[in-house]
């Protein structure tokens, strides 16, 4: 338990990380370092996208599964790591 | 017609003479007169006959006197259809002839009786209209109209006779209706035409009320799901697992009673904290974040090849990559490094201290190349670690030797920070620091075992038996050479201090031990008291001795006396000697070439040698740490990737990439080397070169 907390803390304080969000299986954010509206927006949109990506990967080969998803945009990079029950979203600015 | 007047007769005679033919006139006259006579005759005849006999003819006063001849004259009378009342002398004025002209033909029609009737022809329009109204078939229509008048009259009379009041009207109507009905369809009942009455009554209409009842609707929930190929696959997998569990249950039925207690515990445990399940995901994310931050390093690690090596014929460079450091290990020095054989990006770092005076805690830390900021595993220890080894087959077992003489085995799969096995003073731990540990192949009972060498002169074999470490002394290192008597007759120490050892890659029982006195002993596991061979290697303690991974006869040794020596174990003198101008901390052979090795020195430099290219000099000499005071303590080659890790005495581990010149494969049939290395060149048996695995 404490390890996970530590890991999350490390991620948050890592260089260039703007925010982290932990989302549960229904797409509801449990933990976040961003403000509420942004969190809700990110959680909702990315949840759908991750589900879609996962479905795509698994459709091609059901024994395969999505490990993580990176979306690199002009301003920053959004990283999503899905799990059976939870999903972790991290927004980082890699150039910093 | 029968009534005729005399006058008329006469007039007729007169008129007839003109208008009609004489015979006709004569006839009519005759007829008339005959009639008259007859009339007279009859009248008179009946009663007159009698009278005539009695009386004489009475002559009226105005009777004509006719002669006999005239009396006998026959007048013909004709019976015609002429209308006697019709005028016979209608005259019309003709404008053409400007005179009155008699009309030739006179209308002789005499209407005797005229009555307006109700008869309609059945095909006439009116009749059809009536039919349509009544809805009766055509045939009966005429009958209806004929009898209508009569019928109307009779029922009324009948009704009036029977009952008075309201029945009458109804009766009249009904009569008509009955007539209609009678003459209408055949199904209709036959009613008495004359004596029929029909009564109808209407019940009270109950007021209508609407009553409704509604039950509570069943609870509804909307359900939506997708049926993809992978969802179906998942369901099948679950089913299979369930079936397998059932099978296991069926087999393990007698053991169930014991497990029941445990089952309850496991059920409760699943309601643990939410965040623990995020652990795996968090790890992945952390690695991703690190990858982003150290993106250039990752790219270099993978793809960078120093192009300038083409210009430098023989020399190569080392490109610094990640630097691994752990906050809590700052004051400790790296005392051991080991790559994991199964997970090529994982390596273990043993932290402790070489300083005799500064002995304190230690740490066992595992790093992955994917995350350079934080270790994957770390185990704090009470005593400084001096050596470690990861089991080649079981990558989760780590053997550790401590400064206090203990050995321990850690199991990475388990959560707890303590070692799984630890030797204690009872169980034969060393009395001096353990300098080297090495895993061996499993013994015949399938127990894992490892060897350790320590300054107390013992080489001990430890076997993991269930939950204990069982030790066996393999050999005791005795001092070879002149035994000098200490002052006051104290017996000199008879045990040598082993500082390093290495097992032959192919020949299992053969191993080398380096001692603090600078000697290297070649030993065999079979002989516990005797050495097979002893080499006078160095003037100071032998810090490392390593067999060549390919050549079966060659081994290398290094010492704090600034030298690195390469030996052929059949020859007692070294084959090569290299002086590195500083105390050599560690030396390692490369896994991809039999002629390449690297050494680290106390002045912070890494020396890479390739005997195939240059026998006398290093092809690379590079300082890798910033501060010159830091001593490099250990070096290890990655078995797959072209990188080396170097540990220093400040607790940092630096990873460096070898440039292409340093990675050249050995070539066949090098004559120069043949002289030195007697025997056949050994070439890397199965060599996965670097870039494929990435």
Q: How far is A34 from chain B (nearest CA, A)?
A: 17
Per residue in B471-480, pLDDT (tens digit) is 877 777 766 5
- Is B93 part of a structural domain of the chain? no
Do B283 and A89 touch, CB atoms closer than 8 A?
no
- Is B318 part of a structural domain of the chain? yes
- Is B5 part of a structural domain of the chain? no
A72 Cβ neighbours under 8 A, 6+ residues apart: A78, A94
Interval B284-312 mean pLDDT:
81
Q: How far is A88 from chain B (nearest CA, A)?
A: 7
CB contacts of A90 in chain B (<8 Å) are 285, 288-289
For residue A72, which phi and psi values (nearest 5 degrees)? -100, 125
Give the nearest chain A residue to B226 (CA atoms). Answer: A55
- Greater model confidence, B5 or B660: B660
Q: Do B274 and A30 touch (CB under 8 A)?
A: yes
Question: What confidence score (pLDDT) does residue B431 get?
Answer: 82
Question: What confidence score (pLDDT) does residue B493 get?
Answer: 58
Place of tokens 């006709």: B24
Per the DSSP assignment, residues forming a β-bridge with B338 are B348
Give the nearest chain A residue to B280 (CA atoms). Answer: A83
Question: What confidence score (pLDDT) does residue B374 get?
Answer: 86
Q: Do A59 and B282 touch (CB under 8 A)?
A: no
Question: What confidence score (pLDDT) does residue B41 get?
Answer: 44
3-state secondary structure string, B543-583?
EEEEECCCCCCEEEEEECCCEEEEEECCCCCCCEEEECCCC
Question: What confidence score (pLDDT) does residue B260 get?
Answer: 45
3-state secondary structure string, B509-522?
CEEEEEECCCEEEE
Closest CA to B459 of B436, B442, B480, B481: B436
Do A27 and A44 touch, CB atoms closer than 8 A?
yes
Do B235 and B205 touch, CB atoms closer than 8 A?
no
Q: Do B278 and A86 touch (CB under 8 A)?
A: yes
Q: Do A70 and B290 touch (CB under 8 A)?
A: no
- Is B469 part of a structural domain of the chain? yes
Q: Out of B373-377, B439-443, B596-600, pick the least confident.
A: B439-443
Q: Do A68 and B288 touch (CB under 8 A)?
A: yes
Q: How far is A37 from chain B (nearest CA, A)?
A: 23
Q: Do A92 and B279 touch (CB under 8 A)?
A: no
Surface-to-core class of residue B680, CB atoms within 10 Å of its CB (0-12 exposed, 13-18 middle, 19+ buried): exposed
Residue B20 has pLDDT above 60, yes or no: no
Per residue in B552-578, pLDDT (tens digit) is 888 899 888 888 988 888 888 888 888
Q: Do A70 and B288 touch (CB under 8 A)?
A: yes
Q: pLDDT category, B246, cuts 50, 70, 90?
A: very high
The distance of Cα B627 from the centroid of its chain, to the nearest Å, equals 58
Q: Do B285 and A3 touch (CB under 8 A)?
A: no
**Mutant choice from A73, A79, A95, A96 vs B, greatest count of B C-beta within 10 A:** A79
Residue B231 has pLDDT above 60, yes or no: yes
Give the nearest chain B residue to A70 (CA atoms). Answer: B288
Q: Do B293 and A94 touch (CB under 8 A)?
A: yes
CB contacts of A1 in chain B (<8 Å) are 273, 275-276
- Is B345 part of a structural domain of the chain? yes
Q: How far is B361 from chain A (nearest CA, A)?
A: 22
**How far apart are alpha carbons B113 and B95 in whole angstroms?**
37
Q: Do B278 and A1 touch (CB under 8 A)?
A: no
Percent of chain B with pLDDT over 90: 2
Helix axis angle, A2-13 to B279-293, nearest 10°: 20
Do B329 and B650 touch, CB atoms closer than 8 A?
no
Place of tokens 């179906």: B232
A10, A62, A90 member nearest B230 (Cβ): A62
Own/partner pairs, B363-370, CB within 8 angstroms, 24+ separation: B363/B326, B363/B328, B363/B329, B363/B332, B364/B388, B364/B398, B364/B400, B364/B410, B365/B326, B365/B329, B366/B412, B367/B324, B367/B653, B368/B287, B368/B343, B369/B301, B369/B322, B369/B345, B369/B655, B370/B287, B370/B290, B370/B291, B370/B345
Interval B494-509 mean pLDDT:
80
CA distances (Å), origin B159, targets A91, B162, B166, B183: 110, 5, 10, 21
**How far apart are alpha carbons B134 and B138 in whole angstroms?**
10
B233, B277, B288 member nearest A62 (Cβ): B233
Give the nearest chain A residue to B234 (CA atoms). Answer: A62
Place of tokens 């209806």: B144
CB contacts of A22 in chain B (<8 Å) are 275, 278
Place of tokens 């007539």: B179
Residue B27 has pLDDT above 70, yes or no: no
**How far apart are alpha carbons A25 and A5 in whole angstroms?**
19
Helix (H, G, I), strand (E, B) or coil at B358: coil
Closest CA to B349 of B325, B320, B322, B373: B325
Give the nearest chain B residue to A80 (CA atoms). Answer: B285
Q: What is the CATH number of the domain that holds A68?
A: 3.30.450.30
DSSP character at residue B478:
B
Give the nearest chain B residue to A15 (CA atoms). Answer: B293
Alpha helices in B77-163 (DSSP H): 125-134, 138-162
Tokens read off for B109: 């029609």
Q: Out of A58-72, B255-269, B521-535, pick the least confident.
A: B255-269
Surface-to-core class of residue B149, CB atoms within 10 Å of its CB (0-12 exposed, 13-18 middle, 19+ buried): exposed
Q: Does A8 touch chain B (CB under 8 A)?
A: yes
**How far apart are alpha carbons B460 and B495 in whole angstroms?**
14
Q: Do B373 and A14 touch (CB under 8 A)?
A: yes
**How far apart are alpha carbons B621 and B615 in whole angstroms?**
14
Per residue in B398-431, pLDDT (tens digit) is 888 888 888 888 888 887 777 877 777 667 777 8
Q: How far is A1 from chain B (nearest CA, A)?
A: 5
Q: Do A16 and B293 touch (CB under 8 A)?
A: yes
Q: How far is B282 from chain A (nearest CA, A)?
A: 7
Number of Cβ pairs < 8 A linking chain A and chain B: 95
- Greater model confidence, B274 or B379: B379
Q: Do A62 and B279 touch (CB under 8 A)?
A: no
Q: pLDDT category, B238, cuts 50, 70, 90?
A: very high
Q: How far is A70 from chain B (nearest CA, A)?
A: 9
Helix (H, G, I), strand (E, B) or coil at B347: strand
DSSP character at residue A8:
H
Question: What confidence score (pLDDT) does residue B509 get?
Answer: 82
Question: What confidence score (pLDDT) does residue B185 get?
Answer: 53
**How far apart are alpha carbons A28 and B467 in whole angstroms?**
46
Q: Do A4 and B279 touch (CB under 8 A)?
A: yes
The three-point CA angle B207-B208-B209 to 5° equals 120
Q: Could you count the other beta carbons within 10 Å of the beta carbon of residue A4?
A: 20
* Per-chain mean pLDDT for chain B: 75
Interval B504-530 mean pLDDT:
83
Q: pLDDT category, B354, cuts 50, 70, 90?
A: confident
CB contacts of B275 in chain A (<8 Å) are 1, 4-5, 22
CB contacts of A85 in chain B (<8 Å) are 277
Do B579 and B587 touch, CB atoms closer than 8 A?
no
CB contacts of B232 in chain A (<8 Å) are 62
CB contacts of A83 in chain B (<8 Å) are 277-278, 280-281
**How far apart are alpha carbons B611 and B551 in whole angstroms?**
13
Per residue in A6-46, pLDDT (tens digit) is 888 888 888 888 999 988 888 888 889 999 999 999 999 99
How many domains is chain A built from? 1
Q: Do B230 and A67 touch (CB under 8 A)?
A: no
Q: pLDDT category, B33, cuts 50, 70, 90?
A: very low
**How far apart are alpha carbons B513 and B531 in whole angstroms?**
10
CB contacts of B228 in chain A (<8 Å) are 55, 58-59
Q: Quick one: CA dihedral B575, B609, B309, B629, positive or negative? A: negative
Q: Taking a contact as any Cβ pair under 8 Å apart, which residues of chain A between 10 and 69 contact chain B?
A: 10-11, 14-17, 20, 22, 24, 30, 55, 58-59, 62-63, 67-68
Beta-sheet pairing, B397-402 with B385-390:
antiparallel
Q: What is the CATH number of the domain that holds B549?
A: 2.130.10.10
**How far apart are alpha carbons B545 and B438 in whole angstroms?**
13
Residue B54 has pLDDT above 70, yes or no: no
Q: Out of A24-28, B106-110, B133-137, B225-229, pick the least confident.
A: B133-137
Interval B352-367 mean pLDDT:
81
Q: How far is B603 from chain A (nearest CA, A)?
A: 32
A1, A59, A90 member nearest B285 (Cβ): A90
Q: pLDDT category, B137, cuts 50, 70, 90?
A: low
The three-point CA angle A3-B337-B666 to 5° equals 135
Helix (H, G, I), strand (E, B) or coil at B489: helix
Give the nearest chain B residue to A5 (CA atoms). Answer: B275
Q: Do A63 and B228 touch (CB under 8 A)?
A: no
Q: Do B234 and A4 touch (CB under 8 A)?
A: no
Per the DSSP assignment, residues forming a β-bridge with B337 are B349
Torsion of CA B90, B95, B98, B102, to 10 degrees: -20
For residue A6, which phi and psi values (nearest 5 degrees)? -60, -45
Q: How far is A93 from chain B (nearest CA, A)?
A: 9
The three-point CA angle B333-B339-B340 to 5° equals 130
Do B387 and B436 touch, CB atoms closer than 8 A?
yes
Q: Is the ipTM of this complex over 0.85?
A: yes
Domain that residue B573 falls in: 298-480+493-664
Mind giving me the DSSP string for B677-693?
S-SPPP--SS---HHHH
For residue B513, which phi and psi values (nearest 5 degrees)? -125, 130
**Mutant choice from B226, B231, B270, B282 vs A, greatest count of A C-beta within 10 A:** B282
Q: pLDDT category, B254, cuts 50, 70, 90?
A: low
- Is B190 part of a structural domain of the chain? no
- Is B165 part of a structural domain of the chain? no
How many domains is chain B built from? 1
Domain that residue A40 falls in: 1-92
């Amino acid at each position: 338990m404490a390890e996970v907390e530590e890991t999350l803390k490390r991620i948050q304080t890592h260089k260039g990380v703007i925010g982290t969000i932990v989302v549960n299986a229904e797409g509801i954010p449990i933990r976040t370092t961003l403000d509420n509206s942004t969190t809700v927006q990110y959680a909702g949109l990315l949840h759908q996208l991750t589900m879609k990506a996962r479905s795509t990967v698994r459709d091609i080969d059901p024994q395969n599964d999505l490990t993580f998803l990176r979306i690199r945009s002009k301003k920053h990079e959004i990283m999503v790591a899905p799990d059976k029950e939870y999903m972790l979203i991290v927004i980082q600015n890699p150039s910093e | 017609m029968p009534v005729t007047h005399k006058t008329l007769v006469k007039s007729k005679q007169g008129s007839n003479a003109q208008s009609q033919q004489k015979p006709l006139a004569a006839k009519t006259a005759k007829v008339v007169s005959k009639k008259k006579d007859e009339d007279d005759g009859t009248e008179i005849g009946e009663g007159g006959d009698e009278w005539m006999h009695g009386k004489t003819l009475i002559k009226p006063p105005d009777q004509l006197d006719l002669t006999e001849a005239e009396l006998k004259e026959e007048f013909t009378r004709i019976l015609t259809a002429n209308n006697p009342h019709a005028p016979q002398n209608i005259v019309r004025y003709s404008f053409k002839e400007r005179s009155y002209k008699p009309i030739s033909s006179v209308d002789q029609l005499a209407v005797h009786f005229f009555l307006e009737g109700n008869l309609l022809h059945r095909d006439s329009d009116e009749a059809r209209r009536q039919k349509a109204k009544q809805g009766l078939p055509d045939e009966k229509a005429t009958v209806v109209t004929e009898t209508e008048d009569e019928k109307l009259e009779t029922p009324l009379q009948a009704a009036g006779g029977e009952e008075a009041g309201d029945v009458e009207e109804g009766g009249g109507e009904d009569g008509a209706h009955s007539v209609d009905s009678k003459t209408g369809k055949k199904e209709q009942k036959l009613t008495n035409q004359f004596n029929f009455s029909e009564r109808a009554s209407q019940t009270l209409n109950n007021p209508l009320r609407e009553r409704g009842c509604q039950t509570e609707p069943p609870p509804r929930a909307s359900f939506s799901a997708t049926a993809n190929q992978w969802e179906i696959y998942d369901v099948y997998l679950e089913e299979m697992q369930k079936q397998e569990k059932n099978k296991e249950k069926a087999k393990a039925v007698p053991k169930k009673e014991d497990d029941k207690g445990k089952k309850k515990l496991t059920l409760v445990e699943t309601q643990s904290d939410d965040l623990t399940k995020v652990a795996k995901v968090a790890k992945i994310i952390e690695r991703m974040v690190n990858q982003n931050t150290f993106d250039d390093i990752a790219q270099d690690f993978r793809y960078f090849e120093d192009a300038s090596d083409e210009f430098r014929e023989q020399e190569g460079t080392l490109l610094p990559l990640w630097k691994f450091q752990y906050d809590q290990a700052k004051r400790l020095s790296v005392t051991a490094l080991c790559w994991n054989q199964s997970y090529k990006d994982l390596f273990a770092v043993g932290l402790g201290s070489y300083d005799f005076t500064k002995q304190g805690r230690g740490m066992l830390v595992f790093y992955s190349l994917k995350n350079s900021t934080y270790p994957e595993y770390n185990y704090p220890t009470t005593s400084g670690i001096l050596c470690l080894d990861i089991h080649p087959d079981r990558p989760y077992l780590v053997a550790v030797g401590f400064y206090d003489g203990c050995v321990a085995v850690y199991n990475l799969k388990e959560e707890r920070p303590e070692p799984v096995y630890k030797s204690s003073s009872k169980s034969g731990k060393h009395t001096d620091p353990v300098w080297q540990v090495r895993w061996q192949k499993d013994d015949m009972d399938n127990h894992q075992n490892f060897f350790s060498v320590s300054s107390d002169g013992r080489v001990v074999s430890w076997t993991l038996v269930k939950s204990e470490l069982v030790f066996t002394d393999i050999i005791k290192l005795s001092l070879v050479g002149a035994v000098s008597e200490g002052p006051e007759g104290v017996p000199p120490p008879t045990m040598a201090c082993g500082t390093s050892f290495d097992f032959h890659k192919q020949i299992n029982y053969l191993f080398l031990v380096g001692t603090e006195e600078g000697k290297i002993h070649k030993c065999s596991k079979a002989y516990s008291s005797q050495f097979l061979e002893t080499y006078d290697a160095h003037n100071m303690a032998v810090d490392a001795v390593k067999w060549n991974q390919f050549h079966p006869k060659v081994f290398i040794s290094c010492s704090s006396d600034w030298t690195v020596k390469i030996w052929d174990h059949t020859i007692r003198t070294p084959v090569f000697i290299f002086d590195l101008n500083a105390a050599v901390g560690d030396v390692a052979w490369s896994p991809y070439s039999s002629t390449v090795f690297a050494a680290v020195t106390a002045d912070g430099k890494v020396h890479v040698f390739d005997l195939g290219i240059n026998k006398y000099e290093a092809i690379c000499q590079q300082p890798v740490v910033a501060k010159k005071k830091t001593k490099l303590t250990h070096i290890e080659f990655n078995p797959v990737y072209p990188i080396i890790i170097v540990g220093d005495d400040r607790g940092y581990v630096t990873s460096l990439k070898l440039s292409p010149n340093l990675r050249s494969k050995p070539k066949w049939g090098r004559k120069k080397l043949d002289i030195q290395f007697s025997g056949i060149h050994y070439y890397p048996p199965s060599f996965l070169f670097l870039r494929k695995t990435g």
